[in-house]
Structure 1
Amino acid sequence: MNPHGDTTKESIFQNDIIRQLLNNGWLLGKSENYNRELALYSDDLLAFVKETQDNQWQKYCKIYPNNPEKKLLEKVAAQLGKADPNAADSRMRTFGTLGVLRHEIRDRGIRFSLCQFRPEHELNPDTLKRYQKNRLRVVPELVYSPWATEEHLAVTGSKSKAWRIDLVLFVNGIPVVTMELKSEFKQAVENAIKQYKTTRFPVDPETRKPEPLLTFKRGALVHFAVSQYEVFMTTRLQGAETFFLPFNEGTKDGGAGNDIPENINSYATEYLWNEVLLPDNLLTIPTTRLPIIWP
């Protein structure tokens, strides 16, 4: 397989990234297991809480004996921030994705941590054990919009609400990264940027309702446009006004972009998933490569 040739297909590029992410410790998820209304991969969030904070969870179950799982997920979504500014509880204090990951969720005296960042040393076995329980998951072809319903399709005959994002990365069920991938030719990254600007709207253009996954601060923290040659990124989607910054390593001669690797089975941009998004690097505060995620 030659990743630099014209015969390279986007699906091959995508599968290579997924395979390497899995080799690095990521788990593979399915779009159908994603809660589009809450923008959470619910199973992972609940599993992390139950496995790392059982005593608190048992107390929580006594406070909310009827479906405590549903109650916690709704609480987390509320603390992330209502995507809809007109919602009845929109004045509730919220913390956004970064705040929820870095700080505890509190509800009626119960506290839950939703992420254990990498400890600076291994002197505390309990902290290390919690760190090892983190669930980092990649979901390919994620249908993300809560407005992508069968009812809408029946009424309009349109599949526009079933837009998919090539790869979405979650930490304990909370989305942190989206990636649109383009292959085929050297300028392909521009097409990925165009896709974000023209079809990945933080507010649905028809319903005028927010897309939770794509809402600034409340949804994914960073969005990458990726080809086998270059990477660009943004932290805020604003349609045509979205501003992307290069996220490249530069070339050996001091130029922009990335050097093409001598190994034809490698990609010039694989530092993104093999270094930057390596679990131990992603879960380290601060990280030198992604200061915008963990400031």
Structure 2
Amino acid sequence: MTGSSAGRERARPGGPGGGPGHGSGGERPDGAGSGGGREDGSGSGGERPDGAERAGGPERTSLSARARDAIRQRIADRTYPQGARLVEREVAEELRMSRVPVREALRALVGEGLLELLPHSGVRVRRLDRADVEHLYEVWEPLAVQASRLAARRVARSAPVEPPGVTALRASLDRAEQAASDPEGAREVAAHTAFHEDIVALSGNPMLARTMERLGGQLRLLFGMREEPEHMRAQHAVMFRYIAQGDEESAAASTLLHVRDSRTVALRSLFDDA
């Protein structure tokens, strides 16, 4: 979990607060579109001339998902910092898409709690307050512990054959270690998030995976806001070792320690808790 809020925030052109949308004109996420050539083939007006987007077909769904993932990543790596107002037209230009899939992506991210609607002026990246952080940890803690427990159980039941998910988890751990020196912190945020996601994948429980996916955006936002001391990075290696050994109880206990340490660090770095 990565760098401090102050140290990681990067100013963006267009006005105070960073992020697109600080220029003229607050726009709603359902506004009409304009813009030049896009990777999806749109011209002026922002709509596809063949009507594929208006028809709501699979191509539009794919573009909307890509836009959603790209915006999530920009929020996580603080390209769009907390409080930044996002203007649909400008985000579409950045992503080289028409405005329709971007509009759908912004609406979806409002539903995920990453963005919030502004009266008559579009959306902005949500600021997490103390209650948000505490509530997030209250939900994440039991889910993370159960994910590690189930992942270790699956490894134990597969012995002596190692499930492929262990290899992916080991690779995530290696990437997190390599990314620790990244001065911007974006790679470490991505690697840390991937490590926890790979534990969930290894658990083999699709319902748990869907539940965690709903929390994923807010967890990425949180990981990008707070520092991660060296001892917490070392906890990843301990968690991995117990999971790879198929030791359920130790995997669960080490994950519980990690999540509670994470909560303490988050509250201290974000709200000056002693």
- Identify whether the pair has TM-score above 0.5, normalized to the shorter chain: no
- Normalized per residue, the structure richer in helix is 2
Q: TM-score, normalised by structure 2?
A: 0.28
TM-score normalised by the chain length of structure 1: 0.27
Structure with the bigger RCO (C-alpha within 8 Å, sep 6+) is 2
Structure (1/2) with the larger strand percentage: 1
